[in-house]
Chains A and B, each alone.
Chain A
Amino acid sequence: MRIGVFVCHCGNNIKATVDVALLAERVREGFLWGASSVSPSVSPSVSPSASPSVTSVVFSADYMYLCAEGGQKMITDAITEHGLEGVVVCACSPRMHEATFRKAAQRAGLNPYKLEIANIREQCSWVHADKKAATDKALSLAKAAIAKVKLAKPLFPGENTVEKRALVIGGGIAGIQAALDIAEAGFAVDLVEKTPSIGGKMAQLDKTFPTLDCSACILTPKMVEAASHENITLHTYSEVEKVEGFVGSFTAVIRKKARGVNIKKCTGCGDCLAACPMKKIPNEFESGMANRTAIYIPFAQAVPNVPVIDRNHCAYFKNGKCKRCEGACQPKAIDFSQEDELIAERYGVIVAATGYEPIALDAFGEYGYHDNKDVITSLEFERLTNASGPTGGKLLRPSDGRVPKRVTFIQCVGSRDATARGKPYCSKVCCMYTAKHAILIKEKHPETDVEVFYIDVRTPGKSFEEFYRRAVEAYGVRYIKGQVGKVIGENGSLRIQAMDMLENGRYDSVTDLVVLAAAVEPSADTKKIARMLAAPADVNGFLSEAHPKLRPVESATAGVFLCGMANGPKDIPETVAQASAAACKAIGILMKDKLVTNPCTAKADEDLCNGCGLCVGVCPYGAISSEGGAFPRVVCVNSALCQGCGGCAAACPSGAMDLQGFSHRQITAEVDALCL
């Protein structure tokens, strides 16, 4: 086998510590296992190899910048001129330029996987000062790469077709935006939402910072657009049950829960709601601040505007009689016999937009959230101040319906909390929505005193700081640096025991309404979805991006994209931007007819496999199975599913499983070369 070795100077980056000329000279010495110990007699010249089966370095050279055009040309020329069958490039990290050099090799007609990199910059010249030691190590690394490339087999990437359909999980603003963008590009989209209506948390909000746009006014047109878009299929009141497959060809099973109402017949008149005798069920959309009936439409602008029967509370489903809604319904849309429906569909890509929840406040007993009606969360306050909310937008205390004389906001309830009861991260949106709430109160009731207890006010966003300062300067909202230690209900008011850190003294006040900025956490189902999609999540349960800076909307699992709060705390503009970015990435895949797969996958030798099945258990992708093979129990690898971790190859006791591109023999040869 004729091998060529190219040594890069990288300007002075490598040349300063590694003797590149000597390196280029010495790689030609001897054979594979090092000149010193095996054979001092081999000629170091450019030599036509004696026999085609003998491996030798027939060409070596050093160059100033191999990654530059001239350097790449040198490699391609040498491949053609000297008939090289393997190439080793001693340069920077393969994470940097492996793709560059492999492409160059391919241009010269060499299989790209017959080229290996010896990392003599990041892992040699930059970390070692002594020139001799660095040169020795560089030689060692080069020999390991030569040993590896010698055993390299030409690999050819496979192809798989792309199903031109996208699945978007979560129908909040993130999911809606992603679905709309993909649909606009001309691809079919299925939008799956767990609750009876799309809209998500944004539908609950009153105004949005820092412009004070009405949230519903900007969201509802998008909801309607999503519902009426010819390329979008809405699956509300539905959940993804199972996801299998891989990029380009996922199969998802969606459970459409029984609504009890025929969507096609229903006109959304609401007569059934009036007829329902069960009227005291806490309304989820109103954050429990109002009641709803057992058959209900989540909110006035719901999409689809079709009621759903809550089977846990419906008198008919509980006691077997009632059916009053059925009698009230003129179009005869009520259908008590409806059952859950399972649909399986194939998708090319999946966008996860599963959103968030505020944390439960059970562990924060000192704020008395469960003891006092007038201690509420920010999401509840959104409903309280919303024109479509339980009070019609009037700011009234939940306990006695009075307008509060003083409202106290407490920031960082559970955020920036490193203990078990909180979350270590900053929830990012609380500072801004609290400023918004304060302004909304002051606009309606200028006489009401508003105080905000904060640790830091964080306003990094366009027009955010100005908005916060407006709350302070124009509206006279009092910001107190410090935290509240206790909220005590007393004679219909609330006594606050707090610290004013700048005054360095205790600050006690009596207030009428306390609003807690509860930390956000990924929605409850995120974990389940993450497991289904094989998408990694971080320690806090947020779905992880493939790279925090350079691949911010991709999951490490190919074909799965992330957007919105499911990925981490963020506000609406960021969510929308991320959703569009995720859609764009998804479209990038959907546009292709075929995807090229990584050829460095595991491969089982059918003759050696003894059918023990250890590899099946090790594979995190379910890529290995013994079904469909030529022999019973003998495994085969689905190369489209295999991501090439090599766990199976190390687990295989009979040596049947091997990882292409990182084979047993290649790694063993590298070990040998490094140890001599």
Chain B
Amino acid sequence: MISMTNKCMQCGRCSAACPMATEMDLPPHMWVYRINNGGQSSVQQTEAIWQCLSCFCCEARCPRGVKPAHLAEEARGGQGKFTNDKGKLLENISANANDKIPRQLLVAALRKAGEPCA
């Protein structure tokens, strides 16, 4: 997942399309930039990854096939509990759904279970 961040050419279409970018402390193109430059942990510290709605608008607009929403989810997942493997994801949710899991993460995971919207 990380390796595809180097395809980014910083055009900003992801952030321009993002419905939450104005609220975010770090807009999507900057997650990509930071992760590509080894700043995964700093991305995990941001509020932005919790503000991401997983609407996948950024991914639909990206001309390079980079997946900012997936990166945010990975950052949210922290230890990588939630992979983008669909079947595994639902299994994990039912097993791990409790108060400690932020609602945002569950919503994102459920959305991911279906096809990403364009």
Contacts and interface: CB of A to CB of B under 8 A. Distances in A.
Interface string B5-18: 00101111111111
Contact of B12 (A366, A417, A418, A499): A499
Contact of A366 (B15, B30, B61): B61
Interface in B45-71: 57, 61-65
Interface stretch (A72-80, A341-349, A388-396, A481-489): A481-489
A412 B10 CA distance: 13
A337 interface: no
Nearest to A480: B12
B22 interface: yes
B63 A497 contact: no
A501 B29 contact: yes
B7 A485 contact: no
A486 B17 CA distance: 6
B16 A484 contact: yes
Given A497-B16, A506-B21, A483 B65 contact: no
Contact of A499 (B9, B13, B62, B63): B13
A486 B21 CA distance: 13
Size band of the interface chain B makes with A: 20 to 34
B17 A497 contact: yes
Nearest to B15: A499
Given A366-B17, A455-B11, A417 B30 contact: no
Contacts of A499: 12-13, 15-16, 21, 27, 29
B11 A482 contact: yes
A53 interface: no
Contact of B64 (A417, A484, A486, A501): A417
B29 A422 contact: no
Contacts of A417: 63-64
A419 interface: yes
A485 B63 CA distance: 11
Contacts of A422: 63
B48 to A, nearest CB: 13
A429 B12 CA distance: 22
A417 B30 CA distance: 19
Contact of B62 (A419, A455, A456): A419
B56 to A, nearest CB: 13
Given A417-B63, A419-B62, A419-B63, A483 B11 contact: yes
A499 B7 CA distance: 19
A225 to B, nearest CB: 42
B27 A504 contact: yes
Contacts of B64: 417-419
B72 to A, nearest CB: 17
Contact of B10 (A484, A498, A501): A501
A506 B22 contact: yes
Given A419-B62, A484-B16, A506-B15, A455 B9 contact: yes
B22 A485 contact: no
Contact of A412 (B11, B14, B61): B11
Contacts of B27: 499, 504, 506
Contact of B63 (A412, A456, A481, A498): A412
A366 B18 CA distance: 12
A506 B13 CA distance: 11
